[in-house]
Amino acid sequence: MTDYRKLFDLSGRKALVLGAASGIGKAAAEALGALGAVVHCADLDLARAEATAEAIRATGGVADASRTDAASGEDVAALVQRAHASLGRIDIAVTTPGINIRKLVLNYSEAEFDRILDLNVKGTFFFLREVGRIMVAQKSGSIIASSSIRAFTIEPGLAVYGATKAAISLLVKGFAAEVGGYGVRVNAIAPSIIETPLSAPIKTRPEIYDTYARHTVLGRWGQPQEVGSVVGFLASDAASYISGSTLMIDAGWTAIDGPPTGLTQLG
């Protein structure tokens, strides 16, 4: 009989998490560490990346940290080489950085458009390319990028952001097709409303916060650890037959076309 518990065990795996300072990236790093992986935590905010590494160490894990600008191809290449030298190999690679400037397309400046594209799309491309080269050479690995439900459903002011997230999902599909023959899996996560520092301003506006919560079939916002646990799954052997996918973590946001109006009584 298959030892299903062992499929989720990441003991001995070496992981790189870019965006580990806060939110989903922090939760991903902590989840991987808790499941046994040695984790290199990277972020533009070095102090908070180091805090994440310390939190992993405090619970008996092994982790270190370094500073990286996820929008810089040179920085990402240097990070991957640094992590590879430190860890000896890279079995798991996760990238979560992304930004949004909520504006109507007619009001977007070219500089704003370039800023979103540089981090969300080019930054993801840099990361996939650099860790992909290492994983192809070692003939194994799991890469996890960050898309969003906004790749599939949209609202005014999110067209540019949504376009970048859709690009990530397609980049993941294409890259998975290219590296699958080398034993490398590539997937993306697509969260909906998750309580992170990025979404914190919405919490100060209860009418918007509650409206978003009601759009999910569970009627609530998600927590970073609920995304981190999915990252842990995709990184593990439990997901060994999953590649080229964008996994929804959205509490049913994309299952309905409007906010639920109430509970249906069954029976």
* Domains parsed from the chain with CATH numbers: 7-252 (3.40.50.720)
CA 122 to chain centre: 15
Whether residue 35 contacts residue 8, with contact meaning beta carbons closer than 8 Å, is answered with yes
What is the side-by-side order of every strand in the sheet holding 14-18?
63-67, 38-43, 14-18, 92-95, 141-146, 184-191, 246-249
Residues 132-153: what's their mean pLDDT? 97
User: Could you read off the pLDDT of 158-199 as tens digits, one per residue?
Assistant: 999 999 999 999 999 999 999 999 999 999 999 999 998 878
Look at 14-28, 61-75, 181-195, 201-215 and tell me which has the smallest mean pLDDT: 201-215
Residues paired with 249 in a beta bridge:
191
Report, as residue numbers or ranges, the catalytic residues: 161
**Across 46-56, average pLDDT:** 98
68-82, pLDDT tens digit by residue?
999 999 999 999 999
In three-state secondary structure terms, 149 is helix
Residue 119: count of CB within 10 angstroms of its CB: 19
> CA triplet 176, 119, 191: central angle to 5 degrees?
60
